[in-house]
Structure 1
Amino acid sequence: MTKITFIQPDGESQTVEAENGLTVMEAAKLNDIAGIEAECGGACACATCHVYVDEAWRDKTGKAADMEEDMLDFAFDVREGSRLCCQIKITDALDGLVVRVPAKQF
């Protein structure tokens, strides 16, 4: 199992364990992480699973593909490290991943 820590805008954090092969969004939904709406269910057709990947993890999560970049145009407060967590596949290499949840989702 891979551990992922979600940090809320107020600094509160929740660490969950997730199976490899799932997405970070699926792990968030399975563990009732506040602020991850995932209205499209992971189809990369909205921006309601927007997160900020901690700088130390950006190389391991990779860069957003063109379709994801297009959807991020609709996200609130896009920053360096912004990703849609439905597009981040969980692998052993992501054990310990830290992401921050934005103050709001569109």
Structure 2
Amino acid sequence: EEKDGVMVGQTVYKMDGGTLANYMKHSYKYDDQKRMTESETMKWNSGKNAWENDLRVCYAYQGKTLTTTYYKWNNKQKAYVLVPEMTVTMDNPNL
């Protein structure tokens, strides 16, 4: 799915027997410079016949530095929880 020239959503299917079945769904958000600021992944729960939150990744830009922060869905808390060991800060070679 595209909007204003950028991809804002994507659904991934897998083969299940002879048919395609829901597998993962991705959604993306961008800033005014068309840089990705957030991606969210949902997984298909065939038992509940519903999409369930899985992972959110946030991207923060400051000068030539890009910080990628990961959050994993916690069912008990019903919220995304920071996974600090997966947070990465690096220089962006494209700037």
> TM-score, length-normalised on structure 2?
0.22
More strand by share: 2
More helix by share: 1
**Larger Cα-atom Rg:** 2
